[in-house]
Amino acid sequence: MKFSALLIFTVTYTTYALVPPTGTNTDDVLVKRQYDPVCTCTSGSTTYTIAPPTSSSTALTSSTPLTSSTPTTGTPPVTTPTTSPPQNDCTAIPKATFLLRAYNKNVKDLYYTANATQMASAVANNGYVEGPHMGRVYTTQEAGTVPLYRLYNASAKDHFYTTSTAQRDNAVAAHGYTSQGIAAYIYTTQICGSIPLYRLYSAEDIDHFYTIHQGEVDNDVPGRGYADQGIAGYVLPLQ
């Protein structure tokens, strides 16, 4: 399925590049396309028709953002790092791999993983369309990095990512999320030439959104109802 994932990825990029849906955002994916009734877009000799969203994207009434960091009494999974490597040791950089991102417009959910097999499965089986990479991260714990935990709320159809064990545990205890382990390892401070991975949240869509692009933060906060929730961590730039 690698070929078709690549094809979707390529077509997606081409379409976005040619048709910024609102005319204001030039670097992405997410803009307001899922709200558009129908978009007929052309690329070379090919015409794409982007269908309107299915009406099954259920409006969920709960909109509690995951900003609470109240520790819970539950027993968190054991994720203790075995070593405490020194800060500013950047020798692991050659091992970094892309943080992949995909979006499912029908359920309004962004999915992130550093595992290409998982991404291929999400694209092939779960209705996700791959978008731009969100910097480079590690698949093993390296100097200065911590786990970026992934959680999922099956009712809200939302993937949530955090480096905070308190937020992770609170999401499980109080917000119906299930822990899905570790998506990647990222920096907690801006070392080794890393850049911020911003976190935003839409209460309306019940969707957590992560990006390395300030342009997406600036556009999506006012444009699509996402609230800026600060910096989730630091990742290496694309190159």
Ligand X SMILES: *[C@@H]1O[C@H](CO)[C@@H](O)[C@H](O)[C@H]1NC(C)=O
When the beta carbons of 16 and 226 are compared against ligand X, the nearer one is 226
When the beta carbons of 14 and 115 are compared against ligand X, the nearer one is 115
Do residues 148 and 162 make contact, with C-beta atoms less than 8 angstroms apart? yes
Of 125, 84, 83, 86, whose CA–CA distance to 104 is shortest?
Answer: 125
**Under the rule (CB under 6 A), what is the footprint of ligand X?**
60, 62, 64, 115, 117-118, 139, 153, 155-156, 175-176, 206
When the beta carbons of 22 and 67 are compared against ligand X, the nearer one is 67
The CA distance from 94 to 91, in Å, is: 7
Do residues 234 and 193 make contact, with C-beta atoms less than 8 angstroms apart? no
Phi, psi values for residue 197, rounded to 5°? -105, 105
Give the other-Cβ count within 10 Å of 92's Cβ.
Answer: 18
Query: At its nearest, how many Å lie between ligand X and the CB of residue 61?
Result: 8
174, 178, 183, 188 alpha-carbon torsion, rounded to 10°: 20
H-state helical runs in 157-229: 165-174, 214-224
Secondary structure (3-state) at 171: helix
The CA distance from 177 to 165, in Å, is: 13
When the beta carbons of 114 and 134 are compared against ligand X, the nearer one is 114
Q: Calculate Rg over the CA atoms of the chain.
A: 18
Looking at beta carbons, which residue is closest to ligand X?
Answer: 176
When the beta carbons of 156 and 212 are compared against ligand X, the nearer one is 156
Query: At its nearest, how many Å lie between ligand X and the CB of residue 141?
Result: 13
Amino acid at 97: T
Query: At its nearest, how many Å lie between ligand X and the CB of residue 92?
Result: 15
47, 28, 192, 234 alpha-carbon torsion, rounded to 10°: -130
When the beta carbons of 70 and 155 are compared against ligand X, the nearer one is 155
